[in-house]
Amino acid sequence: AQSVTQLDSQVPVFEEAPVELRCNYSSSVSVYLFWYVQYPNQGLQLLLKYLSGSTLVESINGFEAEFNKSQTSFHLRKPSVHISDTAEYFCAVSETGFQKLVFGTGTRLLVSP
């Protein structure tokens, strides 16, 4: 069965600094990978996804994530964060051909001025 590990429960950064949120997964088969974001007092929404093709995927607000099969990782990065990026970020994995989507425990990104 698949599983997801997000080692950092909280990541504090200053505005305009770069950030990396780590995600590692475990699965015996090929997977799809996702990052979801939950802004304060809002519901969960999809940020970006990897299904196939290019291992580097991007979101519309400047985040990117790279699928690394050898390291079983899907870390989320942004070169320069904004105050508005403050949110909780969840990594998720789904084994191909199955409908079950498993989430990590989440990483709270705190951006301060």
Partner 1 sequence: SQTIHQWPATLVQPVGSPLSLECTVEGTSNPNLYWYRQAAGRGLQLLFYSVGIGQISSEVPQNLSASRPQDRQFILSSKKLLLSDSGFYLCAWSVGTVNEKLFFGSGTQLSVL
List of residues contacting partner 1 (CB under 8 A): 6, 9, 32, 36, 43-46, 49, 51, 90, 92, 94, 96-106
Cβ closest to partner 1, residue 102 vs residue 110: 102
Cβ closest to partner 1, residue 81 vs residue 107: 107
Query: Left, alpha or beta for 97 (phi > 0: left; psi -120 to 50: alpha)?
Result: left
CB 106 within 8 A of CB 11: no
| Shortest reach from residue 75's CB to partner 1, in Å | 17
